[in-house]
């Protein structure tokens, strides 16, 4: 009885976090926030569902496979999300207009595709425009 309740809790919690990842994918305003919500909530949801499967089957083979998959997900999902987000940033995917801080602005040298510690001159950094923010021409017309 207790095992069934634990399995039910793990499976429902996993499904809930997967549902949150799906909502985050639909509701977040830009690529970077979407990547963050799906990588974190999706990994946690899948891990809880796999943990529920391991508890349910109570078999050494199933448990070790489930734990190995959870370990693999925890290692690869954040790294993959980081690499995709980094490539998108350097490719010029626009940030959300409500983005408060951009730590990479002025540190990316587009000619060599490297990050520099010291800020670079404006001529060597790619222009990253916030999504939904007015362009310079539109801002000039509003004045």
Average pLDDT over residues 28-55: 94
Is there a contact between 10 and 55 (Cβ–Cβ < 8 Å)?
Answer: yes
State how far the Cα of 100 lies from the Cα of 2, in Å rounded to an integer: 47
- The three-class DSSP label of residue 130 is strand
Model confidence pLDDT, tens digit, residues 79-127: 999 999 988 888 888 888 888 888 777 777 777 777 788 777 766 655 6
pTM of the predicted model as reported, rounded to 2 decimal places: 0.77
Model confidence pLDDT, tens digit, residues 58-84: 999 999 999 999 999 999 999 999 999
> Which pLDDT score is estimated for 13?
98
Q: From 113, 124, 112, select the one nearest 90 (Cα to Cα).
A: 113
Give, for 58, the enclosing helix (H) or strand (E): none
> Which pLDDT score is estimated for 123?
62
State how far the Cα of 63 lies from the Cα of 69, in Å rounded to an integer: 10
């Amino acid at each position: 009885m207790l095992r069934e309740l634990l399995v039910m809790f793990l499976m429902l919690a996993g499904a809930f976090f997967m549902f949150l990842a799906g909502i985050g994918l639909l509701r977040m305003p830009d690529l970077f926030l979407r990547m963050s919500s799906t990588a974190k909530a999706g990994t946690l949801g899948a891990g809880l569902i796999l943990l529920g499967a391991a508890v349910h089957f109570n078999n050494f083979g199933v448990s070790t496979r489930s734990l190995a998959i959870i370990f693999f997900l925890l290692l690869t999902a954040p790294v993959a999300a980081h690499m995709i987000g980094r490539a998108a940033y350097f490719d010029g995917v626009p940030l959300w207009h409500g983005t408060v801080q951009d730590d990479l602005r002025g540190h990316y040298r587009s000619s060599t595709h490297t990050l520099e510690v010291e800020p670079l001159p404006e001529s060597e950094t790619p222009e990253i425009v916030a999504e939904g923010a007015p362009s310079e021409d539109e801002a000039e017309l509003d004045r």
